């Protein structure tokens, strides 16, 4: 009887062991927050620079402008947000106050605002119309409140000005609900008074009032500046960085901001800000960038593990100019044309190994599903860490493409430091980081082949590839036939 019981127990143990599901690998710290992951998936967001500069044909106001000049008689924030939504944008940010100090809402802490303008008899509120329009279109809203204020006489007196700034910040974040991104920068003129900003207090106040918000600045803490205003990240782009090495307004760290740090202790991904025109504010003499320029910016920002922040300034009437609206539609149509079809989906996929074996749930087939965050290919723990690869196999010569997309499961940490890509055995890409999304637009133009191998040669822990795409960009006309 005892031997029978032992036999049954052993069978139960054996059966439970065979049903054990392989676990995901341990995350590699630091990790993104929920709001950072949501932000990253937006890919393109939009800025609206609007204020007295719009009416003075300038970029940096003096702070001495007469509020009466602000009179956008046809202002329609719904038109702004509609143009953004039609372009696939899910977050729009407004300059509630720029360096000139003019406030687009009726602040009780200054008379230098819409309340002193002729627009709507001083009863208007641009921020309210903007936030309401965003909500009506199902688009999230963000705000920019310039730390440098050329109008406010308290600027240069640290305690008094920081109290004033915090009061306006509190006013905005309590009066206008559900702000998803707040924008700070360190820009100020060389002749501006010395000023110490109490960023720690500002950031704490922001998180207290709206906990799900992302804070942007040179130093994060949620989103960092990429280090330039041309919309381009470094070819190496880590979301990780050492926050203690960052300071707002410090030009000496611009390269570090662009590349990030593989040993970084903080997850602060970069945002690439750029304007659709030469200037940030609307100028009658300027026109929007060509479609080819905007596509290049997309590849150099979104395609390098960043979010692209595209500024589209309203004009003196209070509308987005039709030329800009048209260019936004062209950009959206172009991106849909390029990326709506993934040629790899019609192919078979193979890998050097897989975590947990054939039915472990981490096979290479995961890179072809629609989840680009939480399903992924993971190689086996014992795989050669210098030769981990995943392969897309199509019919002989049947794949024609000029863009290769690779994505990581960054929810478990950014890992890949170096990778190579081969087409039918020929190396076509020598790359470094991947992150949320890496786009390689082949300098040699369209290539035809049947086997595309992505080889991971350097990684922090196991590389986790969440998606691979092969795309055809008909707008890409390379200047020569050399591979990059």
Concatenated DSSP letters of 188-240? --TTSPP----HHHHHHHHHHH-TTPEEEETT-SSEEE-S-SSS---SS--SE
Residues of the chain scoring pLDDT < 50: 481-484
Closest CA to 413 of 159, 238, 194: 238
Q: Do the Cβ atoms of 468 and 368 come closer than 8 Å?
A: yes
**Count of other CB atoms within 10 angstroms of residue 200:** 8
- Distance between CA atoms of residues 346 and 450, nearest Å: 12
Phi and psi for 387 in degrees, rounded to 5? Answer: -145, 55
Sign of CA dihedral 150, 156, 157, 161: positive
Nearest to 151 by CA among 258, 60, 20, 43: 60
pLDDT at 226: 97
**Alpha-carbon span 140 to 134, nearest angstrom:** 6
pLDDT at 177: 86
Closest CA to 39 of 334, 373, 291, 340: 373
Q: Does an H or E element contain 294, and which? A: helix 291-301
Burial class for 16, CB neighbours closer than 10 Å (0-12, 13-18, 19+): exposed
Q: Report the C-alpha gap between 109 and 440 in whole angstroms.
A: 50
Sign of the Cα torsion 62, 157, 147, 206 reads negative
* Integer Cα distance of 322 and 341 in angstroms: 29
DSSP category for residue 265? S
Single pTM value for the model: 0.94
Which H or E element spans position 309? strand 307-311
Q: What is the pLDDT of residues 179-192, one digit of tens each?
A: 999 999 988 888 99
Is 402 exposed, middle or buried, given 0-12, 13-18 or 19+ CB atoms closer than 10 A?
buried
d(CA 110, CA 349): 63
Report DSSP letters for 63-112, one per residue.
S---GGG---TT--HHHHHHHHHHTT--EEEEEEE-TT--BSS--TT-SS
CA dihedral 60, 179, 83, 136 (to 10 degrees): -140
Distances (CA, A) of 310 to 38, 73, 313: 18, 25, 10
Q: How far apart are CA 356 and CA 359, in angstroms?
A: 7
Instruction: Report residue 343 as tokens.
Output: 């040629």
Contact 309, 272 (CB under 8 A): yes
Q: Give pLDDT, residue 9.
A: 52
Q: Give me the domains of the chain, ranges plus CATH numbers.
A: 34-340 (3.20.20.80), 348-471 (2.60.120.260)
pLDDT for the residue numbered 5: 55
Residue with tokens 């307004």: 249
Q: How many CB atoms lie within 10 A of CB 479?
A: 7
For residue 175, what is the enclosing H or E element? helix 158-175
CA distance 63 to 58: 12
pLDDT at 16 (0 to 100): 52
- Residue 213 contacts residue 177 (beta carbons within 8 Å): no
Which H/E stretch holds residue 388? strand 388-393
pLDDT of residue 106: 98
Tokens of 258: 């662009």
> How many CA atoms, within 13 angstroms, populate the side-chain half-sphere of residue 136?
12
Q: What is the pLDDT of residue 7?
A: 54
What value, to the nearest 5°, has the Cα angle with vertex 235 and ends 233 and 241?
65
pLDDT of amino acid 320: 98
Output the pLDDT for position 4: 53
């Amino acid at each position: 009887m005892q031997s029978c019981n032992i036999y049954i127990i052993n069978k139960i143990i054996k059966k439970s062991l065979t049903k054990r599901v392989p676990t995901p690998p341990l995350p590699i710290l630091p990790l993104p927050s929920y709001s950072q992951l949501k932000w990253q998936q937006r890919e393109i967001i939009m800025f609206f620079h609007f204020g007295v500069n719009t009416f003075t044909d300038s970029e940096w106001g003096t702070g001495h402008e007469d509020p009466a000049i602000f009179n956008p008689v046809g202002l329609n924030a719904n038109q702004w947000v509609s143009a953004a939504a039609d372009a696939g944008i899910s977050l729009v940010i407004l300059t509630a106050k720029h360096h000139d100090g003019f406030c687009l809402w009726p602040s009780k802490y200054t008379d230098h605002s819409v309340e002193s303008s002729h627009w709507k008899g001083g009863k208007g509120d641009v921020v309210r119309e903007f936030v309401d329009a965003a909500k009506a279109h199902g688009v999230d809203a963000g705000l920019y409140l310039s730390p440098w204020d050329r109008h406010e006489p308290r600027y240069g007196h640290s305690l008094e000005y920081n109290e004033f700034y915090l009061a306006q910040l509190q006013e905005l974040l309590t009066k206008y609900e559900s702000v998803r991104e707040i924008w700070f920068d360190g820009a100020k003129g060389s002749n501006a008074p010395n000023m110490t900003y109490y960023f720690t207090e500002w950031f704490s106040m922001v998180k207290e009032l709206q906990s799900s918000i992302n804070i942007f600045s040179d130093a994060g803490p949620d989103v960092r500046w990429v280090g330039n205003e041309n919309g381009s990240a470094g070819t190496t782009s880590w979301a990780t960085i050492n926050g203690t090495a960052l300071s707002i307004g410090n030009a000496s760290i611009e390269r570090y901001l662009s590349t990030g740090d593989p040993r970084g202790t903080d997850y602060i991904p970069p945002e690439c800000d750029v304007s659709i025109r030469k200037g940030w504010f609307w100028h009658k003499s300027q026109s929007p960038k060509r479609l080819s320029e905007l596509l290049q910016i997309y590849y150099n920002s979104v395609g390098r593990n960043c979010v692209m922040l595209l500024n589209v300034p309203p004009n003196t009437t209070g509308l987005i100019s039709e030329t800009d609206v048209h260019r936004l539609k062209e950009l959206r149509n172009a991106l849909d044309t390029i990326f709506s079809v993934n040629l790899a989906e019609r192919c078979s996929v193979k890998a050097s190994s897989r975590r947990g074996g054939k039915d472990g749930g981490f096979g290479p087939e995961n890179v072809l599903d629609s989840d680009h965050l939480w399903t992924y290919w993971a190689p086996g723990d014992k795989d050669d860490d210098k030769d981990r690869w995943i392969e897309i196999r199509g019919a002989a010569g049947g794949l024609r493409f000029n863009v290769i997309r690779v994505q990581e499961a960054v929810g478990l940490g950014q890992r890949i430091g170096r990778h190579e890509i081969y087409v039918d055995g020929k190396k076509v890409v020598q790359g470094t980081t991947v992150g949320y999304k890496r786009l390689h637009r082949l300098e040699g133009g369209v290539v035809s082949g049947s086997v595309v191998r992505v080889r991971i040669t350097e990684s922090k822990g196991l590389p986790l590839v969440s998606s691979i795409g092969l795309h055809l960009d008909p707008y890409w006309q390379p200047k020569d036939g050399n591979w990059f």
